[in-house]
Structure 1
């Protein structure tokens, strides 16, 4: 009976030792987690193409601002921010160059009528009063140039000089003229005129003469329709007069007149 108890105790001791060893061996082995079953090939009709991942963008380490701008940001809700809004602005057209702005010049051409008065000389040292009416038309020939035609009718008044009486002279002319302003915006201009003229002296020994004339002038535009000017004109002709106890060859007459002109 004693032997049986000892044998039972020995078997129990051996069982406990084997159980403890098994427990220790189990604790030294790593725990294996649950693994999903191997993925099977999908149905060809239901295959989804793989999503390509964009290649990483190289960033310059020396540009922190660019690095921060390139880094993705999330909103307070954790969602990525919406795409930035692009504002389109209308770009104004470039201003025209000064030459282009001044390309359009107000036309100063048109009909004109003028009146002048001043002094005239048919004989040397004989100063006669003179007056003239003229009219015509000018065309714009450039930004500062006007070219036109003119008609004129004038008179040199009679005068007594050193006991001698000088008859008055009527004359008429037809010719061309040109005006040149000193700049596109300058009101000051120069005038050139030339043409044909004929004159008739009144009195008992009256005679008729004719020839050509040439004149220069300087004026200023008061506004678009009115201008003032001073004009010198030289009239050339060929004839002779009995003057101062002899024959005096008169081949020219001169006038210097100040006048006003109205343009339409």
Structure 2
């Protein structure tokens, strides 16, 4: 073993740290060097948390702790997650702003019918919460969002509008499809809130996890506001003397087509990027 030499500086021979996740490389210049200086750099090497996960996974890299851990890749992933938050929130409340028009266009509907759509979405939570935890643990986050959220959400919101396009009396079939889509929307909401902590841990340090949480909730609230604005704009309050039942049904159909287009656009973005 070679003795240490003292010639105004400290020379230390150490075995390098193994290049594994979490390995820390330190460079010590001089005993008189301040603890925080431009000479001293701390680098943290981390490997891919989910290999091949595209935009929603970390890639192995070495970065300065003074720079954001998530980087440009994480910012884009946060953008995608925000779109997901916006879409599921917008789909969840797309009936509330046009309740009066729904009751006029579909005589068999009542306030109970509309409230049960929200109830079905909420009741899905205790039924699917445990399977959702298993899915999030077993599969990549991007896979869960892409194939178990956006794709089913896009399909069900598209199918429910078909009776309004092809049938003269679509009320019964439309009601059934609306209940099915409500359950799907509820499942997607469970996945969203259950996956938030996993997404934050993939891209952000433990001290910064409030940032993605806040952004996701902002996007969710924007979805609520968007539905409240677009709904009354697309579907007018019924005036029996002027508006017939068929006219209001056509406006509701156009509103649902807008919802379908918005969700399909988000799904296409996911399919081409992750």
What band does the TM-score fall into relative to the shorter chain?
under 0.3
TM (norm. structure 2) is 0.23
Greater fraction of residues in helix: 2
Structure with more contact order per residue of length (Cα contacts < 8 Å, sep ≥ 6): 2
Greater fraction of residues in strand: 1
Larger Rg: 1
